[in-house]
Structure 1
């Protein structure tokens, strides 16, 4: 296996400025980010569309929540202080693209060319679009319902949420007088808005591209092959993009920051994304929106539901991660303060249970032992104080 090169994974054209949270001085940048979210949602779904209305309402909620949680401090926004960072961001995204991404787009373009070239064949384009839209809404409703069940359990156990978080670095935010219902609702709204933003590229593909019933079997088969290869490439792609999200001030403020602004609950999770980041990653990064809608539906639903479950870092609350699951990952460590790890943070090699390992045998080693990338690039240590504290909390609260 080729040794990862820090010069590639940690490449930065501008100033390195590690960030893991928002501050009052970030208010203007946050406002601009929310305005961009409003623009993206409105243009993607249409100004009068229900998804736009929900998205716009959530944007307003998030802006008010920022003021309540962080306050307001005025300063020149980073986009004016360092306008070149916008260009750098685009360059980073393009440099990090994998061949798999172009394969997915190429197949979609080929299908549309063939449909246009054979108008007399029974492609049933309108039928496939109608089915695709049904799948889109079923996906959104299902994930939102799942997220809402999690919300209900957090609200019912909000004092447990407080008790747990006050034993972690989140005690800088969560105190005895903190309104936990507000914090829980903020996390829920974060997840729903991120979800709306992240599936917007899929909606655009559904409404602007054609899909053929005739080509569907072959296209779906190729999509599955592409997705398997994407799973193998994902951790390296994610590490690079995630590293930028924490070490480029612009990328944190405008892309990744929202993912760390809310409490570390499954409610916030949408494939590791912030608001605009979700739209960007599924437009210039991940191949998923460009698949046949059936495959996109399956992948989006599986990945987002799994990500929600794997982001439940407050023990004792639905959906409950087992002790073995929390032992096998360091992503909780990342959400409890330290910047590292930047990868998905999994290490299946450290798990003794063979039954547990067998459940994940189908997953590529690049994902099952993704922490190896951090260990080689940053010297990350698996046995660390934050990880030990997380395990202690699981022993104490995960009944």
Structure 2
């Protein structure tokens, strides 16, 4: 990151004592001071959900760009560098432009309390409003109803699978969390709904009925399956026979279906094949093939995944079963706000051992000792490690042909991508 944006980002972190504080008053105030860039965005596709938001956005962006469109995209958190969050008409925002936008938002805010995510979202809106494009893909940061992105009237809404996560902020039941996600629905604006548990779907349908928001629901209005090594999508328009998603895991078939349904709704179905073959989404079942950590692993395979809740653990376990057999060793670091044992339990089958690490530079990291305790509850043999490097050395000393998966947190994934660059 450039020194300019780095310095401003550090200052912005100090504007509000709470990292997460779900109200929209501060965002509306700043957007008013900035002359409402959110009202001047290219047509918006707004994406909420617990799992699959980033993967779905990546596939949708690949499809729209293959159809010849220019696409803005906003996502969070970043992995290696902050500017990954803002993509302008197909390109990551330049560091110097980001620094200027952040400084402009800081000046307009006038020192008033505002969270880091809120003010940086306003900066993204400014960038999007000033750069011509055909579409704006907005990924919700947390929840939906009170998320800083939920100040727009989109052309299309998307709700990916909803599951338990962020209970301290969104509620401790699936219905409560689904209610927060459904808060992105707008009167008369259609919404693509991905695969859902019945309890979540009931809440989404009830919210949509109250608002008159048309729904296109997985399993009702569209269907997607894997058949004979191909992806088959079908809706009332007809059937599409496509390559399987480039992104690994059976759960990506459902995410791909959401992206294709969205492309159909936007009259961009010609981009569906590219959505499968061209999408890139780092830190999600990503095979690392070069860098110092790969060199240290030698003949062992090195993989990286940032999933961090029980549903992500289930999807990860299933994805691992599709790889050619190798002894699986986990290197796991998690935040202390997550259900660590719930995440690890599905991995107890494929994994033979877990090395627990703390996440470097992260105040809310779970300690290696506590991560080991969670692994005990999940039934995975485990031991602590002082670092990822130490864990790789310990694993390869015992089994040089192991499959090593570094997992448990996007923050750990980001640290790995930076240190392995």
Higher relative contact order (CA 8 A, sep 6+): 1
| Bigger share in helix | 1
Do the two structures share a fold, i.e. TM-score over 0.5? no
The TM-score normalised by the length of structure 2 is: 0.27
